[in-house]
Chains A and B, each alone.
Chain A
């Protein structure tokens, strides 16, 4: 099956600092790809690259290709890229407060998306907005459209942001940490809503998160980033059951779980390196228990393994 969104060997730099190093990803219709990593791993930059938004933050794609529905985005005009965003690609940000205009009523903010991208009339756009809010199980949608963002709870605001992302009837949703700012009971709601959208509408979803629990709950495949590089990618079943990369394994082991013995959680020694001083060879080697001389000298290539791929000189069970 052909991918809706495909990144091949994409590198990203801001100024002359290289932050993302040759990442390849595929997101297919009706599927959820999880992109997981800790702070500084380059997950948000990868999302910005996928939407052609890097210039906003002074970044650029220095290598590789971003293709949407088979077309290279670098070859598109600004107008074409703008038409893509909102219409065919919806975006959900981490903090709903920054995505919403505090002085505009909710209804107007959602309406504008379908008026702009689907050329709907004012009345048709409002009808569509009410329909979307109802689908997202927002109680009393008719009253909510007249409210201002500050009058709504965090979970409600995030559902409005999702409604805005859906208003242009997109094929792909990119959600960057959509539940990180929310309480756990609300997170569960939002995750359920996103999962249902993919299932019912055949949307493609690129879900960026630092939470392995969220990945395990709804993703089909997962891509693990560390310090700007893809270290492992594949279907969630095998990756969680038998992570081949020591970083993937360590990341899973960092999460407190039901029935875990006290004192079994030790974390990963050291800290994520700064982008100004990535270590040579495998970037994870200073924190890795399996690291050898080879890891210090040579960056391991990403090689196929089972239904996925892994970049480690000592890949396999611990």
Chain B
């Protein structure tokens, strides 16, 4: 196999809060010891619930925030130590599509200005036909070039966000919940568009979502996160979950088919605070299979099974 486009090693991010005059400093571990690879042309899904660290992980990979520990290698270059000029040049090759198309587009810019911005930031000349071509590539009429974001629907805005991300033909695109604020009929349009663009442009996607059903439909491989740690890496979309948390996530989704109603077995227990992660497995407080060992010791992401799972009692 060829060199992966991205490789992270022991990536960790801790945020500090308080520590002023009036409060004790508290440390929150948002991402803990994440090692993963993204192959060229792959769609890697990262799935987890709020607070699991998936968005922080994406921002660490793009170095939009600084890492506390660990490394990110992008196409052979270590990003965490790169000086600002070199980082900016590298940034041409990566882009991000944000969740909320309402707040990620500057309301004072016309679409033509929004789409010209990446060229300006990178000091490139804007080719004459670039804006119409970019609009066409995401299925928007050329006439919209002079419109402002508020004149567009949510789906149209997200198409603009995608066009802007692709402006400089990046290798990697991070999609951070790109459809979470859209209606389902529009979500499906956007997912289809992303799939087409990936084929045409040979893109690599890091797709962040809380929706396991959507991730299983769209992605090649799936990383499941819980409270900052990777608990399982599903090698394909058919693989059966081995980690009890992934299993619970899968059982929490409802199929749009009354003939397939399921007995809901809700997860018990409470989610530990990210400011005080337990010494052992973070999921142990909610897990039906948890043993004393789980509460004492953190299970490593084991490679011995059919695929990587961080559990002492895999299913």
Binding site for B on A (CB under 8 A): 38-39, 139, 153-154, 183-189, 191-192, 195, 210-218, 236-237, 240-241, 250-258, 260, 262-263, 265-269, 271-272
Contact = CB atoms under 8 A, between A and B. Distances in A.
A32 to B, nearest CB: 12
Given A38-B183, A268-B185, A185 B49 contact: yes
Given A189-B267, A213-B255, A271-B155, A183 B184 contact: no
B186 interface: yes
Interface string B148-191: 00000101100000000000000000000000000111111111
Contacts of B183: 38-39, 210, 272
Contacts of A255: 184, 213, 256
A212 B270 contact: no
8 contacts: A185-B252, A186-B49, A213-B253, A213-B255, A216-B260, A262-B217, A267-B188, A267-B190
Contacts of A189: 264, 266-267
A241 B259 CA distance: 9
A141 to B, nearest CB: 14
Contacts of B218: 256, 262
A213 B254 contact: yes
B249 to A, nearest CB: 6
- Classify chain B's interface size: 35 or more
A240 B258 CA distance: 7
Given A256-B214, A256-B218, A257-B255, A185 B266 contact: yes
Contacts of A184: 49, 210-212, 249, 252-253
B188 A268 contact: yes
B257 A260 contact: no
Contact of A38 (B185, B213, B259): B185
B17 interface: no
B25 to A, nearest CB: 21
A237 B258 contact: yes
B256 A240 contact: yes
A256 B266 contact: no
A153 B258 CA distance: 30
A267 B189 contact: yes
A197 to B, nearest CB: 14
A262 B187 CA distance: 15
Majority secondary structure of chain B interface residues (helix, strand, loop or mixed):
helix
Contact of A237 (B155, B195, B210, B259): B259
A69 to B, nearest CB: 29
A41 to B, nearest CB: 9
Given A251-B185, A254-B188, A267-B188, A185 B255 contact: no
Interface string B233-272: 0000000000000001101111111111110101100110
A37 B176 CA distance: 25
Contact of B256 (A154, A216, A267): A216
Interface in B98-139: none
B161 to A, nearest CB: 16
A255 B255 CA distance: 8
A271 B155 CA distance: 8
Nearest to A259: B238
B158 to A, nearest CB: 11
Given A216-B254, A254-B185, A257-B255, A183 B214 contact: no
B258 A216 contact: yes
B254 A263 contact: no
Interface string B201-236: 000000000111110111000000000000000000
B65 interface: no
B50 interface: yes
A137 to B, nearest CB: 8
A252 B156 CA distance: 22
B261 A257 contact: no
B266 A263 contact: no
A211 B183 CA distance: 10
Interface-central residue, A183, A195, A236, A272, by most chain B CB under 10 Å: A183
Contacts of A263: 192, 195
